[in-house]
Structure 1
Amino acid sequence: MEPGVPASSSALARVRVVPDHDPDPASGVAPVTVREARFPQDSAVVSRLVAAYLHQTEAEKAERALADERVDGSLPARYQSEVDDPASAFVSSTVLLGVADREAVAMVVLSAEAGAASIARFWVDPAYRGHGVGRRLLAEALARLPRPVRLSVWDWRTPAIHTYERSGFAVVTSWESRDRLVCMELRTDSIER
Structure 2
Amino acid sequence: MTDQRAFTIVRRPGRAASAQDGVAELLAAYHLRTQAEKGEVVAGVGELPDRYRAEILDPGTAFADDVVLLALSGDTAVGCLVVTAPVEGRCEVKRLWVDPAFRGRGLAAGLVRAALAQAAESGVRAVRLSVWKWRTDAIALYERLGFTVTESWEERAQLVCMGRAV
Q: Does 1:131 align with 2:108?
A: no
Q: Give distance in 2, aligned partners of 1:60 and 1:47.
A: 20
CA contact (8 A) 1:149 1:185 kept: yes
1:32 touches 1:136 (CA, 8 Å); kept in 2? no
Q: Of the candidates 26, 32, 49, which is equivalent to residue 26 of structure 2? A: 49
Paired residues of 2:18 and 2:58 also in contact (CA < 8 A): no
Q: Structure 2: state its 5+ residue gaps.
A: none
Residues of 2 paired with 1:81 and 1:46: CA distance? 13
Percent identity over paired residues? 41
Deviation at 1:72, TM superposition (A): 5.8
Distance 1:42 1:69 in 2: 26
In structure 2, the partner of 1:20 is none
- Determine which structure has more spread, i.e. the larger CA radius of gyration: 1
Contact kept in structure 2, 1:29 and 1:128, CA below 8 Å: no
Q: How far is the alpha carbon of 1:100 from its aligned partner?
A: 1.4
What is the count of residue pairs matched by the alignment?
158
The answer as to 2:80 corresponding to 1:107 is: yes
Match of 2:139 in 1: 161
**How far off is 1:76 after superposition?**
1.2
In 1, Cα distance between equivalents of 2:75 and 2:129:
29
Q: Distance in 1 between matches of 2:92 and 2:17?
A: 24
**What does residue 42 of structure 2 align with?**
70
Is the counterpart of residue 61 in structure 1 residue 38 in structure 2?
yes
CA contact (8 A) 1:59 1:69 kept: yes
Q: TM-score by structure 1 length?
A: 0.75
Q: Which has the higher strand share?
A: 2
Q: Give the superposed CA RMSD.
A: 1.9
Tell me the distance in 2 between the aligned counterparts of 1:142 and 1:29: 19
Counterpart in the other structure of 1:151: 129
Q: Distance in 1 between matches of 2:18 and 2:125?
A: 28
Structure 1: unaligned runs, 5 residues or longer: 1-23, 63-67
